[in-house]
Amino acid sequence: MEIQNQLKSLAEKINQLKDKIDIEESIKPAFVLPFINILGYDSFNPTEVVPEFTADIGLKKGEKVDYAIF
């Protein structure tokens, strides 16, 4: 399936489930990780996708981002 179809399918899933998911920890596996996988990254490979990565950029020293893609 080409990327456009995968993204459209994920968008439809998000539209159907968005009112049922109300906490960030549920959003990550339902929406964010599938999006990262569609982009071609292996979200289960810690050399490609790192959860809770300390970004240390600009004024955000020591703050974490949900996922960093390497």
Using CB atoms within 10 A of its CB, is residue 49 exposed (0-12), middle (13-18) or buried (19+)? buried
Give domain limits for the chain: 3-69
Q: Give pLDDT, residue 60.
A: 72
Are the CB atoms for 62 and 54 separated by under 8 Å? yes
Q: What is the pLDDT of residues 42-61, one digit of tens each?
A: 999 999 999 999 988 777 78
Q: Give pLDDT, residue 57.
A: 79
Share of the chain above pLDDT 70, in %: 99
- Under the banding of pLDDT at 50, 70 and 90, the label for residue 17 is very high
User: Which of 66, 70, 46 is CA-nearest to residue 54?
Assistant: 66
Q: Give pLDDT, residue 1.
A: 60
Compare 55 and 1 and report the one with higher pLDDT: 55
- CA-angle at 68, arms to 52 and 54, nearest 5°: 45
